[in-house]
């Protein structure tokens, strides 16, 4: 009888542990196609030099106050997406899942995708592909580079690579 009680208790603890660990996962988020097509007027592939990028030890607390402005002078435009491909790009982007408010870094770094609004505001999509990690930074900025919103991080490395490799001459390996 003790043995049965032991197995039932162990099983219950495993189930409880599994439930509690999955409850810590961030929520998935995607940017709606209608929002993208109604608001985004251009897309650029950029390189953002940011040697001061800081990573957060944990994504759980809200780190919004620690996010760093985007220094426009540290940005180099590598390519501009042809306007005839904009709708197809935005459709593919609308299918990408992000980890909502998944704070891994305080700012972007390296090769990034820049989504442009008509008023000069922009969204930066970055992924730490150089290290084979989906961790990155997806956030909104005003035309001066001030942080106006934070989306999160890519939920998978392949999503970022596909956006770059399918639409730009620059290829990520």
pTM summary value = 0.82
Rg of the chain in Å (alpha carbons): 19
pLDDT at 22 over 70: no
Query: How many Å apart are CA 43 and CA 47, to the nearest integer?
Result: 13
Nearest to 111 by CA among 50, 45, 43, 42: 45
Higher-confidence residue: 146 or 99?
146
Evaluate if residue 105 carries a pLDDT over 60: yes
Find out whether 106 and 48 touch, Cβ atoms under 8 Å. Answer: no
* b (16+ CB within 10 A) / e for 36-55: beebbeebbbbebebeebee
| The predicted structure's pLDDT at residue 99 | 82
Across all residues in the chain, what is the average pLDDT?
85
Domains of the chain by residue range: 27-167
Q: What is the pLDDT of residue 131?
A: 63
- Interval 52-90: pLDDT, tens: 888 876 655 677 788 999 999 999 999 999 999 999 999
pLDDT score of 23: 47
Confidence of residue 29 (pLDDT cuts 50, 70, 90): confident
Query: Quick one: what percent of the chain has pLDDT higher than 90?
Result: 54
- Residue 7 has which token pair? 């197995």
pLDDT digits (tens, 9 = 90+) for 84-93: 999 999 999 9
Q: Please give the pLDDT value at position 101.
A: 75
């Amino acid at each position: 009888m003790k043995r049965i009680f032991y197995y039932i208790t162990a099983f219950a603890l495993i189930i409880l542990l599994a439930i509690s660990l999955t409850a810590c996962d961030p929520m998935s988020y995607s940017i709606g196609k209608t929002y993208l097509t109604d608001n985004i007027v251009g897309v650029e592939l950029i390189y953002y030099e940011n040697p001061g990028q800081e990573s957060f030890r944990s994504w759980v607390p809200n780190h919004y106050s620690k996010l760093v402005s985007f220094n426009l002078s540290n940005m180099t435009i590598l390519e501009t997406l042809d306007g005839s491909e904009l709708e197809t790009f935005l459709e593919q982007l609308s299918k990408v899942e992000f980890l909502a408010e998944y704070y891994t870094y305080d700012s972007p770094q390296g090769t990034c995708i820049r989504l442009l609004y008509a008023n000069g505001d922009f969204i930066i999509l970055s992924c730490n592909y150089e290290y084979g990690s989906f961790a990155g930074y997806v956030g909104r900025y005003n035309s001066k580079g001030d942080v106006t919103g934070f989306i999160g991080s890519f939920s998978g490395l392949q999503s970022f690579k596909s956006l770059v490799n399918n639409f730009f001459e620059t290829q990520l390996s």
